[in-house]
Amino acid sequence: MITSILIVFTQLEIFRKISWKKNRFMKTTFLLIFLTGLSFAISPPTDVRAWDSPNDAGGSINIAWRISPDDPMLDGYEISRLAEGAADYEPIGFIGKTRNSYTDEETRDGVKYQYRVAAVKDTIMVYSEPSNYVQSSSQWFNTDRINVLVFATLFIFLILWFTSRAKKGMSLFIRKIAGLDAVEEAVGRATEMGRPILYIPGLSTMADVATIAGLNILGEVAKKTAQYDTKIIVPNRDPIVYTVAREVVKESYTQVGRPDAFNPDSVFFVTDSQFAFAAAVDGIMTREKPATNFFMGYFWAESLIIAETGASTGAIQIAGSDAVMQLPFFITACDYTLIGEELYAASAYLSREPLLLGALKGQDYGKAVIIGVLLAATLLALIANLPVLRLF
């Protein structure tokens, strides 16, 4: 800016010394040049510096500068880059005025770059001094995510600790879930009445976590039907789920020492058509009159059709799903309903296997820690005005 002022004063002095009468053309021309230079005498940005972007996978360099004193009259800033060994700068970006930083996300790791920033007004560009040379590189750790590392470590520790306790035979408290407590009663009722049990592991695929949870519960139910010599019927909509369900039931019969009692035809594929499957299940309910119906997995609009038909046959119905839109129908038409995470906890609840119990208890305590941290951070932010957002 000082340089521009000196130039202006110099031009004014030259203008004063030119005789108007003798050099009218020269003085007019000089006046136009002077006014043009006065209009576009802009100062470049200063203190341009560049550094490797922290906590990234490489290929990125940050550039920052002090904005031009003439920033209000500018169109913006053009950023140029010079690779080591290159002949000239190449423009890599343009940003508006008032901004003083830019991130170059198209660098090659290991190559040194130098940057300069130009103040732009119409077709006028005034360049800054070049920055230092810098090269991008990747980092092993993202220090902005230390909080994630701390919580993940704590979470893993809780799971391993509770799993160890369960393996040592220590009692781990799990709150009672009415629908799972009724499984024994439901299987016993079917045995006494001499009628089968119908089990539907949802209509989704193996990619759905609710389907996996439903198959885990199927394994525990199949063990009880094998012990009581009760017929079980497992229709399936997905061919992959059918294959897995058949192996689960077969393995359950083997584990209780009755592999010969397993009937391969008790687990079968029906159709992959949603409402055709619902119609087939309704027909099974009407013909076979199962004493107990299990609906465990992910369901869609067919949930009410199936549940209503089962209720009309007088069967005990136990449902479980994480499909929020279908839960009201199950709650209305079924005797017991597992809601959301109760479905995921069911296999640990029924089997009491140490690994499953440890994972379940570790998750519960992990959630409790997260809730506690959130409440404490909220109180600190409200009372002491501390920057607690950095924790998250």
Q: What percent of the chain has pLDDT over 90?
A: 70
- Judge whether residue 352 has pLDDT over 50: yes
Domain boundary assignment for the chain: 46-135, 172-352
Query: What's the predicted TM-score (pTM) here?
Result: 0.69
- Judge whether residue 161 has pLDDT over 80: yes
pLDDT of residue 353: 87
pLDDT of residue 76: 95
pLDDT in tens, 6-47: 444 454 455 455 444 445 555 555 454 544 444 457 899 999
pLDDT of residue 25: 53
Homologous superfamily (CATH) of 46-135 is: Immunoglobulins (2.60.40.10)
pLDDT of residue 125: 93
Instruction: Tell me if 134 sits within 8 A of 90, measured CB to CB.
Output: no
Q: Report the candidate in 207, 249, 194 with the shortest Cα–Cα distance to residue 226.
A: 249
pLDDT of residue 19: 46
CA 200 to CA 205: how far, in whole Å?
Answer: 13
Is 172-352 in CATH node 3.40.50? yes
Please state whether beta strands 101-104 and 76-83 pair in parallel, antiparallel, or not at all (unpaired): unpaired
201: Cβ–Cβ under 8 A, 6 or more apart, which residues? 211, 214, 215, 218, 234, 236, 241, 245, 296, 297
Instruction: Tell me if 42 sits within 8 A of 123, measured CB to CB.
Output: no
pLDDT of residue 176: 87
